[in-house]
Structure 1
């Protein structure tokens, strides 16, 4: 939804599905300050859809992976604008459409294990990680705050998922910043293909409930701070609960 509208996007369309693309410029404060305008853009570009069952936010940006001492204010602003403000405003804008859906309402925020505080890894995460930590908190807060009337089970299922270190353009860029060879991390099982990543994410989305927070029987283990569900070390996904 947040990518440039192109005909090439139609190639990702599944059987018996309709794909709409909506261009939204989140650097435009007129939009981010008024989520209702975002909703209007979505509605007018999608034949006025009436509800949303599952909202998945995956768009993100990556600035150079440098030590925290070297992070610039400009990189922080860029990452927070795209990685934190954009998905938060998108959720606020589309929440009425989630409310209109029958059955479970799910919000899935794709994040990264580098945004874990209690299980911080020996890699520099830079402004990217800081902005993801912020959105992780917001996503978890939705799960705790939107619980439905009288505990009737109609609350929101809100889950943060690390889709694995996948071989996307961003994943390859991070490997370069960390000075590791993509071939080596792929062969070592630390990086996964996009198809493997998608399969893992779909498993989590399908299995996510308010009680289970998306836990599925797939080689999982929880890190000490309870913030990250590791779905295999390199293969699969991680669920970040806080």
Structure 2
């Protein structure tokens, strides 16, 4: 039986590391990638020490050279990639919209928007070599117009420009990839308000709960959805 393979970006901690752990528990070979080599190596070693098939690959989603090198390295290890999880992302800090500069937004977009495009482009040949390839874009409810306008969530998160706009852009990118990439199931997920470094551990969900939608969409078959937006409870309105 052929081993299912996956690669997760930004996976040295939080949602990324938990995603790697849960996918590896399924018996998959998972590449844990991170920009910080020491932290990534440590995270992968801790998981591998429990008997999981996890390997660290250095990957900085903001660097064309780093992403290409990672794709070449993975291509030397395996013939195809079944699942790509574009998880790497950053916040923008407590910057109110009137105070946000173009430079502030550029930093967030470089990681949260251009990063997934850069990684997807580089790994597309390996994905297309798989029988049932899947791509999961880790987005956010903050990138949903419907969620942002919902009075139930009013006041939960202070207004900001970069992060919500970047996730909204990622949602549209997901839809356009889904329209163009026949044979690849590609979806965006909202992990929910999860206790991670990104939320200063203020979230009310555990990292396990936060990865429920990621893992579910990573495991769909050829009849699964594509071009959708989901959380752990089901579909999310754009």
Residue in structure 2 matched with residue 107 of structure 1 by the alignment? 135
CA contact (8 A) 1:67 1:125 kept: yes
Deviation at 1:119, TM superposition (A): 2.8
Partner of residue 56 from structure 1, selected from 73, 78, 85: 85
Number of residues paired by the alignment?
195
Residue in structure 1 matched with residue 60 of structure 2 by the alignment? 24
Paired residue secondary structure (1:56): strand
Paired residue secondary structure (2:70): helix
Residue ranges of structure 1 left out of the alignment (5+ in a row)? 148-154, 174-181, 186-190, 215-226, 233-237
Partner of residue 4 from structure 1, selected from 24, 30, 36: 36
Structure 2 residue 192 is the aligned partner of structure 1 residue 192: no
Residue in structure 2 matched with residue 126 of structure 1 by the alignment? 161
Deviation at 1:194, TM superposition (A): 1.0
Deviation at 1:75, TM superposition (A): 1.1
Q: 1:37-76: CA deviations, max 9, x gaps?
A: 7334332367442210000011101112444333221210
**Whole-angstrom distance in 2 between the partners of 1:135 and 1:239:** 16
Given the superposition, is the C-alpha separation of residues 213 and 99 from structure 1 closer, same or farther in structure 2, using an over 3 Å criterion? Answer: closer
Structure 2 residue 178 is the aligned partner of structure 1 residue 143: yes
Greater C-alpha Rg: 1
- TM-score, length-normalised on structure 2? 0.70
Q: Greater CA deviation, 119-128 or 50-59? A: 119-128
Residue in structure 1 matched with residue 30 of structure 2 by the alignment? none
Residue ranges of structure 2 left out of the alignment (5+ in a row)? 1-32
**Whole-angstrom distance in 1 between the partners of 2:221 and 2:117:** 20
Once superposed, what is the RMSD of the aligned Cα atoms? 2.8
Deviation at 1:16, TM superposition (A): 4.6
Query: Equivalent residues in 2 for 1:1-242 (5 A)?
Result: 1-6=33-38, 7-9=41-43, 10-13=45-48, 15-24=51-60, 26=62, 28=63, 31=64, 38-44=67-73, 47-102=76-131, 104-120=132-148, 121-122=153-154, 123=157, 124-147=159-182, 155-172=183-200, 182=202, 191-207=204-220, 209=222, 211-213=224-226, 228-232=229-233
Residue in structure 1 matched with residue 16 of structure 2 by the alignment? none
